[in-house]
Amino acid sequence: MLKLAILNDFLRDTPNGLDNCVANRRWLAAKTIVLGKGRYQVFEYGYDQTNEQHTDIAKYMDSLGLRCRQESWSTLWDSDPSDLFCELLSDNLTNPDCVVGFGLPNILVRAFDKLAIPFVDFEISPIRFLSDLHVDARTNMKALKESTLWEHPSEEIYHQAASIAGWAARQCPDSIPEHAGRVGVIFGQLAQDASLIYGNKMASFWDFKKELKEWGNDLDHILFKPHPYDQHNVHLKHLAAIFPDLQQTNMNCYQLLGSLRIQKVLALSSSVLEEAHFFGYETKRLVMTPRRRTKEAYSLVSNLGLLSTDVLMPAIKNARPLNCQADQTNLRDQFGINWAFPPTVVPSDFNSSTSLKISAQCSRAFSKAVNLFQKAA
């Protein structure tokens, strides 16, 4: 019987002024229990848990010399754990055979390495245009990479990208006009996305003003596609100050990628950058995704079948995993999120004067305000 500790980013919770998606941890625990076929003891740890499985966030923050607040969470996410932090974690988990995580911060990943605790950490994969959502994975168990489930065949991803391009060619061929010239698209993100953590703070486009201007020098049109769940559109204000002729588009992101009439794609760290690669686009990433900043093995598209007893139990002992059937979870339905897939045709707003053409006057005003703020600081 193996003892497995199930964690998510428990440091992102009420004491730090943030919400914790406990549902992700519970979902992962349920999957692990069933795939364990009665051979796993599964324990969930978090701020909402009681007794030994409760994570005292204030103590963890104190061990790092930080106060409980939102800014501290972004500071610690990609930092190195202190010895006291590792001691607290070790006492909290009480000798698990393996940690199974969902969206773990890098500070926990590095702590598991220091404590020599095997772990595997999942997240929803950045590739979201396949027939179902998948997970990505990272681990410090070398044997886990030998499983046939570790990495989804890239050829299947290219075939699906080709399918979307074919759909766009038939259903919305003029989303971007054939003779539009050189077109670049910038994709936005949510302001509190962990993938935006950069230098102990949340990155913004304004941090990369020089790089953005160089990127856009040879483009005839620059489109901005905001994140579908971003109601405040903060990124647009920064970009408007850099590109006075920026146009916002409401077209579906796969409609844009499938058009094959884009020359460049840019984002801070959006998952769309990973997807654009399979359509053959030149991409520019301004912030390295934090999940890629650790030394552990990483798989862009993996499978939850890694948690089956035939795979995980041998891997923990550094033995070659047995072949196992892939998990067929319908993640898109279970998470209730589609991320713009399957794509739908949105009437082209490429030449629409109302789609958004930021006036140079507003742009200059915002730029002036930012400069005054920086001088005052």
Q: Which two tokens stand for residue 121?
A: 């950490």
Burial of 78 (0-12, 13-18, 19+ CB in 10 A): buried
Residues 6+ apart with CB under 8 A from 83: none
pLDDT at 267: 96
Burial of 323 (0-12, 13-18, 19+ CB in 10 A): exposed
Determine whether domain 163-288+343-376 maps to CATH 3.40.50: yes
**Alpha-carbon distance 70 to 14, whole Å?**
10
**Alpha-carbon distance 298 to 113, whole Å?**
15
pLDDT tens for each residue of 180-221: 999 999 999 887 778 888 877 888 999 999 999 999 999 999
Phi and psi angles of residue 140, each rounded to the nearest 5 degrees, phi first: -105, 10
pLDDT surpassing 70 at residue 361 = no
Weakest-pLDDT range from 170-174, 273-277, 323-327, 351-355: 351-355
* Reported confidence tier of residue 236, pLDDT bands at 50, 70, 90: confident
DSSP tag of 207: G
* Reported confidence tier of residue 238, pLDDT bands at 50, 70, 90: confident
pLDDT surpassing 50 at residue 359 = no
List beta partners, residue 208. none
- Whether residue 365 contacts residue 244, with contact meaning beta carbons closer than 8 Å, is answered with no
Q: What is the mean pLDDT of residues 352-375?
A: 46
pLDDT surpassing 90 at residue 144 = yes
Q: Which of 340, 287, 280 is nearest to 133 (CA)?
A: 340
Instruction: Show me where the domains of the chain are located.
Output: 2-154+293-335, 163-288+343-376
* Reported confidence tier of residue 377, pLDDT bands at 50, 70, 90: very low
85-89 long-range contacts (CB < 8 A, ≥24 apart) are 85/60, 85/111, 86/111, 86/114, 86/115, 87/63, 88/56, 88/59, 88/60, 88/63, 89/60, 89/115
pLDDT at 351: 83
pLDDT surpassing 80 at residue 376 = no
Residues 6+ apart with CB under 8 A from 337: 133
pLDDT at 200: 76
pLDDT at 234: 74
Q: Please give the residue that has the higher pLDDT: either 372 or 37.
A: 37
pLDDT surpassing 90 at residue 94 = yes
Weakest-pLDDT range from 76-80, 172-176, 262-266, 338-342: 338-342
Mean pLDDT of the chain: 90
pLDDT at 235: 82
Burial of 366 (0-12, 13-18, 19+ CB in 10 A): middle
Find the helix packing angle between 209-216 and 234-242, rounded to 10°: 60
- Whether residue 285 contacts residue 267, with contact meaning beta carbons closer than 8 Å, is answered with yes
**Alpha-carbon distance 115 to 359, whole Å?**
55
* Reported confidence tier of residue 105, pLDDT bands at 50, 70, 90: very high
pLDDT at 319: 95
Q: Please give the residue that has the higher pLDDT: either 342 or 42.
A: 42
**Whole-prediction pTM value?**
0.89
